[in-house]
């Protein structure tokens, strides 16, 4: 597999980062990447950063080449250029670290994600819980749905998603998806038994989040209906994390642009329909939908569609 990745990488031209801007190395459908992308879209970098998207597995060598950590090849990776060609870039791996860095770098625009004092500590604690519980378990449910769809003969091709990653990666993913997906499921311990646990864990997270919105537990406005998980009048990193990591279960309308819903949706996504209906029906699910409608893609935007700032990675190395 390493030989295959080396050959593929030779055909993939890594895009340059504009001076004074940034790059997000991602897997387009990853909910952790969506978490980092959302924060970037709220920051002053929103109009200048670029996204270097890769198919699962094929992202590995690009991440390792940036981080020099073979044991940690996960996305997202945030690369902030220096102020000149001689300045080394800042490289940050992991959605929580990216959010914290951006909030510290741009306090006027993003400081509300981590309020000062005790509330800020509660935000960080809740963010970590969601990262460690909801993130891995919702991911398992998605890959299991994809795998079950394959077993039933449903197509898992996704032309809208293929257009976002290098052509050679999309081609090889589609050719070898069965074997690649099986290996990924083994690596993430995804099977019929673990899926039962994953579903119950996600239900528990949504139950607890719904209770928080009803005014239970710590936070401002205890005993009263809350607009945000920990109260207050502005979204925090806890709300953003819940919404981003839950998006595969909720499937907000904006993700039609990635082939997850609507007339151009990939056939396999129908396997997620019952899950989406269940989680959307909860107060926490309605909270996620509201955050996407009001905070992620507000009405003034006019589109309500996720549009990744991906760049052309399809040029040959000699071009």
pLDDT in tens, 223-277: 789 999 999 999 999 999 999 999 999 999 999 999 998 888 899 999 999 999 9
The pLDDT score that the predictor gives to residue 302 is: 47
Q: Which strands sit side by side in the sheet containing 50-53, from one edge to the other?
A: 50-53, 22-26, 77-80, 90-93
> Quick check: 161 and 269 in contact, CB under 8 A?
no
Q: Is 267 exposed, middle or buried (0-12, 13-18, 19+ CB in 10 A)?
A: middle
State the DSSP code for 310.
Answer: B
Residue corresponding to tokens 């269940």: 278
* Parts of the chain with a pLDDT under 70: 1-11, 13, 70-71, 299-303, 312, 315-319
User: Could you tell me the two tokens for 77?
Assistant: 């990776």
- Sign of the torsion angle spanned by Cα atoms 270, 271, 272, 274: positive
Residues contacting 297, CB < 8 A, separation 6+: 254, 303, 304, 305, 306
Backbone dihedral angles phi then psi of residue 238, each to the nearest 5 degrees: -65, -45
Residues contacting 115, CB < 8 A, separation 6+: 123, 232, 236
Residue corresponding to tokens 């996600």: 202
State the DSSP code for 111.
Answer: G
Q: How far is CA 169 from the centre of its chain?
A: 19
Bridge partners (DSSP) of residue 51 are 24, 310
């Amino acid at each position: 597999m390493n030989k295959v990745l080396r050959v593929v990488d030779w055909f993939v031209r890594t895009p340059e980062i504009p001076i004074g801007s940034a790059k997000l190395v991602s897997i387009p459908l990853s909910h952790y990447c969506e978490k980092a992308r959302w924060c970037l879209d709220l920051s002053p970098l929103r109009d200048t950063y670029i996204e270097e998207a890769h198919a699962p597995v094929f992202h590995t060598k690009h991440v390792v080449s940036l981080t020099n950590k073979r044991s940690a090849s996960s996305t997202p990776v945030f690369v902030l250029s220096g102020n000149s060609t001689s300045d080394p870039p800042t490289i940050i791996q992991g959605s929580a670290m990216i959010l914290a860095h951006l909030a510290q770098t741009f306090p006027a625009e993003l400081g509300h994600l981590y309020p000062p004092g005790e509330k800020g500590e509660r935000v960080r604690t809740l963010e970590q819980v969601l990262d460690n519980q909801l993130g891995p378990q919702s991911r398992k449910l998605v890959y299991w749905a994809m795998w079950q769809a394959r077993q039933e003969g449903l197509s898992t091709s996704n032309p809208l998603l293929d257009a976002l990653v290098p052509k050679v990666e999309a081609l090889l993913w589609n050719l070898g998806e069965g074997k690649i997906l099986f290996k990924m499921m083994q690596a993430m311990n995804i099977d019929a038994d673990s899926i039962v646990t994953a579903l119950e864990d996600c239900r528990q997270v949504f139950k607890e989040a719904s209770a928080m919105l009803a005014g239970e537990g710590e936070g401002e406005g205890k005993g009263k209906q809350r607009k945000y998980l920990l109260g207050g009048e502005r979204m925090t990193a806890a709300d953003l994390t819940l919404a981003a990591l839950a998006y595969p279960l909720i499937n907000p309308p904006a993700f039609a642009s990635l082939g997850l819903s609507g007339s151009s949706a990939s056939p396999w996504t129908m396997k997620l329909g019952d899950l989406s209906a269940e989680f959307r029906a909860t107060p926490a699910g309605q909270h996620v939908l509201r955050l996407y409608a009001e905070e992620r893609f507000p009405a003034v935007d006019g589109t309500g569609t996720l549009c990744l700032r991906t760049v052309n990675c399809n040029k040959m190395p000699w071009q």
